[in-house]
């Protein structure tokens, strides 16, 4: 057993993997304090609970759906969102879970993000693959209001409310040229104001963090049009935002968070970037993989979901080895010998929402051979009308589990 990459130590702490069982990817983690928390296991459909800060985990539930999000109002009332319609509720700390999605009309496709500003007010949003909507309960999840957000966004991923009335939601703008979007409301979602767009086609603002009254941060899930990695930040409580380059090479980013205004992390695939100056400069390293949700407990303790549940602590008491890497979906793309056909092969290892896109180097969508939920198996495509001259063509496979891309150089 060994501490994971102690070079990541910042703010008097170190990252290490907790000993939660391997799940492929843990999509979300939520803690009520330093010790009591829950994690959802993505395609494994698992819900685990810890009462000792990740020292040990107890399996509470195993759902048949892909579980994306989890959040608790207190030590008894909690919710877990899936990417397969289901929304689970518990009133006994996770001892039992009940699917309440049929009480929402129309029934949501999936719940990517959850936010609970108080025990009566519950928000959820979705879905990363579209459409865009928000659900709200004013009575602790007994009844729900569904809001169509297609006037603002193509897709929504994360949501965070400071109070029952004031909050943010993030995703992709309905206008492709605007790219990723941050929306803000001060009236409980009755109306929304666009406070930031990335201006890069196909971007998604994947996660948002409101650290304090001034500092807010967001991760930019991009497809590497400019071969860079980016994030966004605000210093006025989310009223205005600016984009920042994390790296001049591409790694798709999902997980993101700061433990104080200076020290933070951005990651997604097998690379994690750290900053100690508020996001002006970043250092690349490796600590786990498939990072998705950063959860800050206090100035000394944070958790990050991914292949494991990783813990940042100034006093690690239980240090576990790296989790075993899980198999991922596969993508390959190549030109026919005459250069006139783009041949694409996709191997889905499990049923998932799969979006396969062919884009020009400027982000223009050329074709979308896959878009919807698809069963595991091999898929093959031969696309002839895929170019307008020499250049780079991007082939992008986005799934519930993450993103894979290939760049194909067209010479004529």
pLDDT, tens digit, for every residue of 204-239? 999 999 999 999 999 999 999 999 999 999 999 999
Give the pLDDT confidence score for residue 1 in this predicted structure.
Answer: 28
Residue with token string 């793309």: 333
Mean pLDDT of the chain: 93
Q: Give residue 316's pLDDT band: very low, low, confident or very high (50, 70, 90).
A: low
Residue 314 has pLDDT above 80, yes or no: no
Least Cα distance to 254 among 286, 280, 293 occurs for: 293
Residue 286 has pLDDT above 90, yes or no: no
Give the pLDDT confidence score for residue 315 in this predicted structure.
Answer: 64
Taking the C-alpha atoms of residue 389 and residue 343, their distance in angstroms, rounded to an integer, is 17
Taking the C-alpha atoms of residue 153 and residue 166, their distance in angstroms, rounded to an integer, is 19
Q: Give residue 170's pLDDT band: very low, low, confident or very high (50, 70, 90).
A: very high
Average pLDDT (260-287) is 94
Residue 326 has pLDDT above 70, yes or no: no
Stretch among 21-25, 98-102, 135-139 having the lowest mean pLDDT: 21-25
Least Cα distance to 327 among 350, 351, 353, 352 occurs for: 350
Give the pLDDT confidence score for residue 5 in this predicted structure.
Answer: 38
Give the pLDDT confidence score for residue 359 in this predicted structure.
Answer: 94
Give the pLDDT confidence score for residue 4 in this predicted structure.
Answer: 40
Q: Give residue 324's pLDDT band: very low, low, confident or very high (50, 70, 90).
A: low
Give the pLDDT confidence score for residue 8 in this predicted structure.
Answer: 45
CATH architecture of 330-410: Sandwich (2.60)
Tens-digit pLDDT profile for residues 67-125: 999 999 999 999 999 999 999 999 999 999 999 999 999 999 999 999 999 999 999 99
Tens-digit pLDDT profile for residues 355-396: 999 999 889 999 999 999 999 999 999 999 887 678 899 999
Taking the C-alpha atoms of residue 286 and residue 289, their distance in angstroms, rounded to an integer, is 8
pTM: 0.93
Residue 43 has pLDDT above 60, yes or no: yes
Give the pLDDT confidence score for residue 270 in this predicted structure.
Answer: 87
Q: Give residue 285's pLDDT band: very low, low, confident or very high (50, 70, 90).
A: confident
Average pLDDT (292-316) is 92
Q: Are 182 and 168 in contact (CB under 8 A)?
A: yes
Average pLDDT (29-50) is 97
Q: Where are the beta strands (DSSP E) in 32-105?
A: 37-40, 46-50, 58-62, 67-72, 78-82, 87-90, 98-99
Q: Where are the beta strands (DSSP E) in 187-329?
A: 193-197, 204-210, 216-221, 229-234, 242-247, 255-258, 264-267, 272-275, 283-285, 294-296, 301-305, 309-313
Domain layout of the chain by residue ranges: 12-313, 330-410
Average pLDDT (59-68) is 98
Q: Give residue 23's pLDDT band: very low, low, confident or very high (50, 70, 90).
A: confident
Residue 190 has pLDDT above 50, yes or no: yes
Q: Which fold has domain 12-313?
A: Methylamine Dehydrogenase; Chain H (2.130.10)
Give the pLDDT confidence score for residue 387 in this predicted structure.
Answer: 75
């Amino acid at each position: 057993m060994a501490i994971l990459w102690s070079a990541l130590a910042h703010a008097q702490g170190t990252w290490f993997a907790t000993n939660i069982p391997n799940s492929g990817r843990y999509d979300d983690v939520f803690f009520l304090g330093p010790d009591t928390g829950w994690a959802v296991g993505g395609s494994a459909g698992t819900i685990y609970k810890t009462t000792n800060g990740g020292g040990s985990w107890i399996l509470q539930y195993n759902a048949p759906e892909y579980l994306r999000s989890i959040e608790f109002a207190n030590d008894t009332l909690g919710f877990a969102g899936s990417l397969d319609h289901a929304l689970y509720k518990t009133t006994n700390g996770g001892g039992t879970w009940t699917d309440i999605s049929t009480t929402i009309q129309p029934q949501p496709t999936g719940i990517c993000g959850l936010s609970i500003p108080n025990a009566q007010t519950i928000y959820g949003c979705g879905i990363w693959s579209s459409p865009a909507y928000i659900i709200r309960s004013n009575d602790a999840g007994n009844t729900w209001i569904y809001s169509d957000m297609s006037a603002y966004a193509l897709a929504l991923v994360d949501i965070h409310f400071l109070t029952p009335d004031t909050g943010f939601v993030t995703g992709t703008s309905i206008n492709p040229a605007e790219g990723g979007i941050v929306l803000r409301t001060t009236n409980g979602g009755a109306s929304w104001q666009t406070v930031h767009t990335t201006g890069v086609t196909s971007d998604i603002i994947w996660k948002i963090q409101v650290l304090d009254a001034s500092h807010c941060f967001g991760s930019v899930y991009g497809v590497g049009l400019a071969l860079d990695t980016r994030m966004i930040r605000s210093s006025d409580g989310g009223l205005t935002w600016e984009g920042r380059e994390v790296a001049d090479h591409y790694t798709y980013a999902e997980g993101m968070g700061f433990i104080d205004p200076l020290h933070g992390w951005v990651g997604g695939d097998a690379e994690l970037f750290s900053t100690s100056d508020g996001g002006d400069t970043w250092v690349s390293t490796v600590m786990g993989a498939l990072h998705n949700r950063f959860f800050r407990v206090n100035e000394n303790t944070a958790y990050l979901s991914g292949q494991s549940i990783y813990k940042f602590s100034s006093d690690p008491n239980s240090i576990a080895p790296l989790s075993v890497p899980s198999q991922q979906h596969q993508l390959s793309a190549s030109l026919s010998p005459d250069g006139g056909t783009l041949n694409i092969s996709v191997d889905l290892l499990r049923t998932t929402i799969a979006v396969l896109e062919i884009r020009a180097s400027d982000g223009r969508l050329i074709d979308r051979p896959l878009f919807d939920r698809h069963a595991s198996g091999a898929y093959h495509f031969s696309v002839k009308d895929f170019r307008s001259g020499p250049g780079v063509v991007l082939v992008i496979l986005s799934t519930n589990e993450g993103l894979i891309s290939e760049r194909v150089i067209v010479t004529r």
